[in-house]
Structure 1
Amino acid sequence: MSGIGVTIGQRPTNLRQRAVKALWTAVWLVYLSAPVSDLLHGGHPAGVRALGWLGLAVFVTWYMLLVFRAGRVDRPAPVLGSLGVLAAQSALLALTLGREWLVLFVYVSIASGAALPSRLSRWTVPGACALMTAVAFAVPDGRGLLWGLLVPAALGGFAMTGVRELIRTTVALREARATVARLAANEERLRLARDLHDLLGHSLSVITLKSELAGRMLPDHPDRAARQVADIEQVSRQALVDVREAVTGYRRLRLAGELDGARVALRAAGVVPALPDPAGLGDAPEDAESALAWALREAVTNVVRHSGARRCTVDVVRRQTLDGPVLELSVEDDGTGGSSSIPGNGLRGLGERLAAVGGTLDAGPVRHGFRLTARVPVETAAEPGRKGGAA
C-alpha cells in the first residue's frame, strides 16, 4: 500500500500515486452537476451549448492543475494570475448562461485556498465570495442560490488554507526529524570513534611496550619474558571486552580500576608512578567518575607514548569553587610532552567528553614537564585521598 497511498505533505512519486491524487481531486467535481444539467436541459442554442462545454472543460482543466500542483509554486504571481482567469471565466459563464454557473466560484475559492500561501488566501477567499455575490445580484434569480453557495465557498476556501498549512508543517516536521536522526547518527559515530580511540590506544600502547620488554628479556630471562607475554594476553583480552562494551553503549570506566591500569602501564614503560590510594577516593557521581577515568586513561597513554618521562604523579582531589564543588584530576610528568603543540584526537575527544558532563580540561607544559588537569562538577563526593607514594 505504500506505493499507492500518498500521505499528507508527501508529493506523489510515481504514476499510480499521481492517479490516486487526481482521482481524489476529481471527486469534488460532482458539484458541477448544476452547470452540466443546465447545458443538457437548459434550452440553450447549439452554439451556446458548444461554447459552454468548452468553457467548462477549460475551467476544470485549469482548476485541476492549480489544485494538483498546490504547494509546488515558489512564486505566487502566476497562481494569482491563474485564479484571476478562473474568476473572470466564472463570472462570464454565470452572466451569459445563468445562475447555475455561480457554483464555479466555490471552486475558485477552494483553488485559492489550496494553491496560495495563507497570507494571500485570507484575502483571495473573501474576494472570490464577494465577486460571487456581485455576480449573483446581476444574474436573474441569482439571489436564491447565493446563500447556499456563500457558506461552501468560504468554508471550502479556508479549509483548504488549513490543509495547506498542515501539509507545510508536516513537511517541516519530516525534514526536522530526518535532521535529528542524522545528527544523532553522527553523534553516535563520534562517541564510538572516541571510545575506540581511548580504549585501543591505551591497550595497544601497553601491549607494544610489554612486547618490546619481552623481546629484550627472552634471550637471558625466558621466565620473565613469559610473564610479560602472559600480561600481554591479559591486556588484549580486557581490550576485547572493553571494545565490546563500548560498541554496545554500556562502557562505564571506574577511577579505581583505571588507577590500577595506569600503574601497570607506567611501570611497563619504565616510568615511576606516584598514584593515590584507590580505596581513599570516596564516592562520586557515576558520570563524573567515568569522565575522570577516561581523562586518566588518555593522560597516561600520552605519558607512555610521547613524554619520555621518568616519573608521573597523579592527584585526585575535591575542591570548592565559586561554581560549586568539583572533583579534580591532575596528571603531571617530568618529560618533554612530545614534539607537537597541536592537541591530538585523544585530547580533543577528551575535552568533548568532559564538556558533556559540565567539566573542563586544561593541558599544557609546565616548568619541568607536562600537566593535564580535568575537573568535573559533583553534587556530593567524599574527600578523596591525596596521592600516595610511588607504588
Structure 2
Amino acid sequence: MFRWMMLFLAMAPAITQADTRIGQTSVDRLTLTYRNPQTGTDLGASQTRVLIEQLYASELLNLDEVLAAQKLDTSGAQGDGFSVINPYYPRAEAGDVPLPSARSVMQNGELIQNPEQYPQPAEGYEMVDGEPAFYQQAAVSRWFSELRNGGAAAEEVCAVAMDADGRRYRLKTFPTVDAALQAGWQITHQYRCGSCSSLRDLAAYIAIPDMTQPVRACSQRGRGRLSKLDEVKQCIIEAVGFTPACAESWAYNAVHTGAECAGRCMRSYGRAGPLPALLQGGINILRGQYSACPASVESEDAATREVLEARGCPLDNEQTGKLNDCLWCDEQLSGPGFKYSAARTRRASGLPSAIPRPNDRLFYEADHSRYFSGRAVSPASGSQP
C-alpha cells in the first residue's frame, strides 16, 4: 500500500501539471528566447516560456472599445457572427483620399523610393483609366495614406495599462510615444491598436516565430470565397492559437488575397516547373508544394536557400528584400486593410519576421517583458537558461 501511495505521489505532478498549448504548439517544449537589442531585453529560454504563459493567460478588458474606434463601414460583406468588420468592403471611391507614397528607406542619409524596385510599387490601389481603384474601405485608405505620407497616423502607438492583479489590462491608441509614456502606459506596438493587439495574440507571435505553413494551409481553405470566412477563422485559431478577433482579421486577409491574387500566385510558384507557369503553380499550391523557386533568388549559402525554399521562396532577391509576385500581391492589395484591422505585426512589435526584409526596421522599441514588472519576468533582465 505504501509503495502504491509513493508511486501516485511521484506521478501526481505529471498528471496535474497542464501542458500550455498555443494552437498546436506546446509552450513547455519551447527552447526559443525573447530578445530586443533596442531595449536591452535578453531573456533565457525558461524566462521566455514564463513570459509567453503570462501573456497568454492575460485578459483584455476593452476589446469592444478598440474595435469600435476603427469606425469601419458595416455595409460591406461581413463574416457571419464576426466582431471584426471587413476592412476591404465597401471600397473607397476615387477622389475620396490622397494617394499614399511608395515605400521608402533612408540609406546613407539619402531617401530611397521603392528600394525593392518593384515594377508596380503602388499599395492599396491600382490605376484604372487614369483613376485610382482602391482595395479597402475609405477609412483604411485615408489612414494608410496618412501613414505613408508622414501624417499623424505615423506617430501613433498602441499601449497597455495593466491592472494591479497583473493579469487584466486595457489597450489604448496614443498620438505619440511620449504621450503614452507620460500617461504611465507600456507601448506594445507601433501604430494604432486593432484586433491582434492583445497580449494573448502577442504570445502566439512570440511562441510561433514562423507561421507561414499553418496559416497558408488555412488560407487555402478559403479559396477566395467570402462564404469560407468562418472555416478559415476556425482553422487559424486551432493552428496558431490567435484570439477569435485576431483570427477574423487574418481570415479577411486570406480570403481577399485568395480572390485578388490567385493568378499571380500560381504564376509565381510555377515558374520553375515543367508545365506552363499558371498550370504548374496551381498544381503546386493545391499540393502544398512551394519548392519551385524563382531563378532570380540569389544566395550561395545552402542553408539559406533551404530555409527560403521551405517558406515558399519569399524573396526574388535576398539583397534588396524584393518579395516574389505572390507575396507582393498580398502586400499590395491586402496589406493596408490587414494592418489597419489587425494592427499588430511582427515588425511593429519588435519581433523578427520569418520573411527577411533588409529595408525594414527589425526591432521596434517595445519591451514585452515590462508588462509583468516585479513578477516572474523582470524588465531588461539578463539571459538565463
**Do these two structures clear the TM 0.5 threshold for a shared fold by scoring above it?**
no
| Greater RCO, 1 or 2 (C-alpha within 8 Å, sep 6+) | 2
Q: Tell me the TM-score normalised to structure 2 length.
A: 0.19
Larger helix proportion of the pair: 1
- How does the TM-score come out when normalised to structure 1? 0.19
